Amino acid sequence: MTTRHQLDIWKLQRTISFLRSLRGHGHQFVTLVIPPRESLQGVLNLVKQVKAPVHVEYHVVEDTKLVGDRAVQVFKKLESELEAFNNKAPINGITYFVSVAENPRTFLVYEPAVPLLIKEILFRGDHVFHPQALEELLETQSSKIGVVLVDSSGASITTLNELHTEPLCRVSVHLPWNNPSKLSMATKNLAAKVGELTEEKLLNKDHLPIVSHLIFGGTNEVKAYLTPSILHGNLQKLVVATVEVSSSDDSESWTAVEKAADKLPQDHPVVQEFKTLNSFYGGLLGGKSVLGLQATLQALEQKKLTTLLVYGNLKTVRYTIKEANGEKVVFDHPEADLGNEQIIKRVDLVDWLFDNFRQFGVKNIFTIWNIHSRLANRFSTDDGIGGF
């Protein structure tokens, strides 16, 4: 996973979180999402006609008749922005999130690094912003791996990538262990049922896979029955490995992926995460890695790190505090009580690191978002910051 990819995901995550945190009234928050290469003439005509926030969704207009100087200014600015594109949206599409309220004053433009999936223009006024197109884009930033786990008590199907782990289904069975003559057939039937469920859960309405790779995991007694033949064409060719696991619980999904890592593309973000965390923890033993907030900050100041690791949901804030002779920086929790200190600026540490890592000589920044794997979970509880 490249640093560019990490930066794109971080910017997208930060934008979505910011938009989701805002609340307005009535139809004060205007969302405009324009698909890639879309002609802008229709949008421009609409914006020129309405000088106040409206509810326009998929070309359906409901004028809310909210007027005011702020609304007029906002729509004039939006009109100017759109005219600058010479009647065609950017190659990846573009989104605008605009508040016509006095507070908060928001005019956020997000041009994605990869094409938006939305097919029609969304122009909508509401009391909240609607970043669903960005959330959908985030889901496509990394291909999902499907994991099918089976044991003598049942099966589970899970999808995962470096951002999310999503259990899709769980079925329970009781194999007739006290009747060997029926056991083999019952196990074959279980495998066949698992094949049907896998196709139901991992194929979309057009019968195309929603995953890029598929891993089977089974306990010793059922593993031999898990072969690609229980699936049909579209999924059958995606099976990269069948590995042994201790149970069919979906918590074992990451164990299965880790065991099959050498069968997956080595540039897949999940495989890159395994490699990076293994290198990081291996380096701790030889003094080549640092772990923890203070040790990492010190190593950054000394420009000793080339790779920086950070847990994406790290709850640490960088406070800039005014002093008589200047300023000082303090790192603490978001709800920290800093007494009578005069706070000049506060920024989440993760955001600050992404904005500033290059000035410390760091070449690669690696964010751990999904903490369901063994090493990722360990890292999130080991202060969630380090480097090597």
- For residue 67, what pLDDT is reported? 42
Average pLDDT, the chain: 88
Domain end call among 131, 164, 190: 131
Q: 3-state class of 364 per DSSP?
A: strand
Residue type, 370: N
Same-domain status, 235 and 290: no
- Kindly state the percentage of the chain with pLDDT values over 70: 94
How many Å apart are CA 358 and CA 388, to the nearest integer? 15
Same-domain status, 249 and 341: no
Q: For residue 6, tell me if it sits in a domain.
A: no
- For residue 69, what pLDDT is reported? 62
- For residue 61, what pLDDT is reported? 33
Q: How confident is the model at residue 70 (pLDDT cuts 50, 70, 90)?
A: low
Give 209's DSSP letter. Answer: B
For residue range 192-231, list pLDDT tens digits in order: 999 999 999 999 888 899 999 999 999 998 999 999 999 9
User: Positive or negative CA dihedral for 283, 281, 257, 350?
Assistant: negative
Same-domain status, 207 and 277: no
Q: For residue 350, tell me if it sits in a domain.
A: yes
Q: For residue 211, tell me if it sits in a domain.
A: yes
| Of 237 and 62, the one with more pLDDT | 237
Q: 3-state class of 75 per DSSP?
A: helix
Please, which contacts does 188-197 make with residues 24 or more away whose CB atoms are closer than 8 Å?
188/225, 190/150, 190/155, 190/222, 190/225, 191/150, 191/222, 191/225, 191/226, 191/227, 191/230, 192/230, 193/155, 194/148, 194/150, 194/155, 194/226, 194/230, 195/230, 195/231, 197/155, 197/157, 197/169, 197/171
Global model pTM greater than 0.95: no
Domains in the chain, number: 3
Q: Which domain holds residue 113?
A: 22-131
For residue range 298-320, list pLDDT tens digits in order: 999 999 999 999 999 999 999 99
Same-domain status, 277 and 379: yes
Q: For residue 232, tell me if it sits in a domain.
A: yes
Q: Is 251 left (phi over 0), alpha (psi -120 to 50) or beta?
A: alpha
Q: What is the CATH number for 337? A: 3.30.1330.30
Q: Which phi and psi (to 5°) does residue 339 adopt?
A: 65, -130
Q: Which phi and psi (to 5°) does residue 122 adopt?
A: -115, 120
Same-domain status, 202 and 279: no
Q: Which residue has the tokens 């897949």?
A: 268
Q: For residue 9, tell me if it sits in a domain.
A: no
Domain end call among 264, 295, 328: 264
Q: For residue 8, tell me if it sits in a domain.
A: no
Q: How confident is the model at residue 291 (pLDDT cuts 50, 70, 90)?
A: very high
Same-domain status, 243 and 308: no
Q: What is the CATH number for 43? A: 3.30.960.10
Residue 307 is encoded by which pair of tokens? 């790779």
Asked if residue 58 has pLDDT above 70, the reply is no
Q: Which residue has the tokens 């950017």?
A: 90
